[in-house]
Each structure stands twice: as structure tokens, then as C-alpha cells.
Amino acid sequence: MSTLLRCGGRSLDWASPTVMGVINVTPDSFSDGGRYLDPEQALARALAIEAEGAAIIDLGGESTRPGAAPVTAQEELQRVLPLLERLRPRTRAILSIDTSKPEVMRAAAAAGTDLINDVYALRAPGALEAAAESGCAVCLMHMRGEPRTMQRAPCYADVVGEVRAFLAERLDACRAAGIADARIVLDPGFGFGKSLEHNLALLRRLREIDVDGLPILAGLSRKASIGALTGKSPGERVYGSVAAALIAAQRGANILRVHDVAATVDALKVLAAVG
Ligand code: 8Y7
């Protein structure tokens, strides 16, 4: 099977684990909130992320952290488009838009985005169609509930089986909408409606998430689970996050979504050498 992800006119080879670096263009994100609302500052950070070895740069204009308030499509576009327009002509990296809204998907695709990273897995009305028409790759993430309430006592009989079944159902919905398998990435959604024990089970048994050999994205970077295990605040979770990314890569993750790109890239080089 091919290991090329088709992202509009670009492609990403995920045969060995690659890194997606995060930039939040939001006032309230827990790790970098407020810092990148200025498009010039965000541009500098995006280019640094690429230089540190990220193959993908994920731009987010809507905070999806637990308890976050929703924003309008217009607000989201006002945050991300100035960065996207500056960044696109300056980078060959895959540009990803973190959004659930069809209007944002369309406008971001028109501005040169290659990948749609949707924590709602294209469940919003019109999102499947917008993603299909965009030609972009899509990341389908599992989330139980919605960000505002999802961490209130999440409950599963079999978290791994339920997450896998959800992803298989969303994959079928994409296929029915005309999105080819070569455009799809699957993601168990660490921290999205999951307790520490759920997150640990998903990481431990990440291989079982596999659906038809499609690439897997894992996002554990600086999340509350890392805080719970290390007792550290978000800015101090680098070592724990690198360890989690490495474990995920060893258990089949093909794309690691991280804040600390340089540290993760080094860890993956060591892993690649050992095999
Ligand atoms: C994830 C994500 C976030 C993740 C994917 C954070 C937008 C919270 N986490 N997207 N987004 N996977 N695909 O801690 O795990 O960065 S936001």
C-alpha cells in the first residue's frame, strides 16, 4: 500500500513518523494563547517550526481546549487568513487548518491550505461536502461530546473499540462523500472526552486503532494527561510530551502533533536509527 497522503496538489510520505507543529492563533489556548494573534509573529513561529523539521504546520483559530467558548466562522477567518496568506508563498510545508466549519474549510483551501484537521471529524452540516470539494487531505479525530463539556466524567465500556468504530464510521462517511482513502488520516483524539485511564489505554493499544492501514495521527503534546503523570504545568511538559510522542510512534503513529517540534524531531531520529 502507498504511504503517500494526498493533500491537494502536495503529498506527504508518512512511511516514517513525521511531525505536525502547532500554532494557535487564539487569545486563549492553554499553551500559546495570545502569542500569535499578530500575523508577523505567527509567521516567524511558523517558519521556525518548518526549520525545526515539521512536515506539517497546523493553524488553529478556534480554541478546542476543554471548556472553551465557540467562535464564529468570521472570527476564525480573521485570525487565520492573514497568517495563511503570508505563510503560503514562503513555505513548502503542508499547511493544515484546524477547523470544523465548512466556511472556514472553503476559505482556507482557497488560500492554499493542504489539510483539514477537524476535531469533529466532518460531522458539522456541510463539512463533508466542503472537505470533499476542497481536494485537501482530512484528519478525522474522535471526540466524545463537545469541548465545553467533554471532560465531565467521560465513560466507555471499551474505549479502544468504541474509538475505532467511530473512526471506521467517519471513514465510511468520507468514502460516500467521494473522499479517497489516500486523503484520510485517523486520530483517536487524546484528551477529547477521555480520562487519564482512557488516554493511557489508547496509547498502550494504539495499534488496535488501525482501520485499513490508513495513517494515524497522535496528539498528546502538553495535554492534561502529561500534566497528571508529571505534575508539571503546560509549559513544563516538554519531556513528558516527547516521551509520549515516541511511545506513540513506536506503537504505530505516523504523524505526531506537537508544540515542541525540535525536541520531538530529535527523538524520532533516534527511533528511526534503531528501527
Ligand atoms: C488535537 C487536535 C487539538 C489532537 C488533532 C491541544 C486541534 C488541544 N488536539 N487535532 N487539536 N488531534 N488532530 O492540546 O489530538 O492542542 S487542540
State the pTM of this model.
0.97
> For this structure, is 152 an active site residue?
no
Please identify which of the residues 223, 232, 237, 251 carries the catalytic annotation.
Answer: 223
Query: What pLDDT, in 10s, does the model give residues 21-30?
Result: 999 998 876 6
Atom of ligand 1 minimally distant from the CA of 64: 17
> Do 222 and 205 contact (CB within 8 A), yes or no?
no
Query: What pLDDT, in 10s, does the model give residues 200-237?
Result: 999 999 999 999 999 999 999 999 999 999 999 999 99
Q: Cell triple for residue 214? A: 490508513
CB hemisphere CA count around 262 (13 angstroms): 7
| E strands present in 40-145 | 56-60, 94-98, 115-118, 137-141
Of the candidates 183, 103, 187, 173, the residue with the CA atom closest to the CA atom of residue 143 = 187
Query: What pLDDT, in 10s, does the model give residues 160-176?
Result: 999 999 999 999 999 99
Instruction: Name residue, grid cell 499547511.
Output: 95
Out of 65-69, 123-127, 191-195, least confident range: 65-69
The pLDDT score that the predictor gives to residue 179 is 98
Ligand 1 centroid–CA 189 distance in Å is 7
Q: Cell triple for residue 178? A: 467521494
Q: How far apart are the first and last CA of the chain?
A: 20
The pLDDT score that the predictor gives to residue 109 is 98
93 lines ligand 1 (CB under 6 A): no
The pLDDT score that the predictor gives to residue 150 is 83
> Do 56 and 255 contact (CB within 8 A), yes or no?
yes
Query: What pLDDT, in 10s, does the model give residues 74-126?
Result: 999 999 999 999 999 999 999 999 999 999 999 999 999 999 999 999 999 99
Fold for 4-274, please state it: TIM Barrel (3.20.20)
Site to substitute for ligand 1 among 26, 56, 117, 258, most atoms within 8 A of C-beta = 117
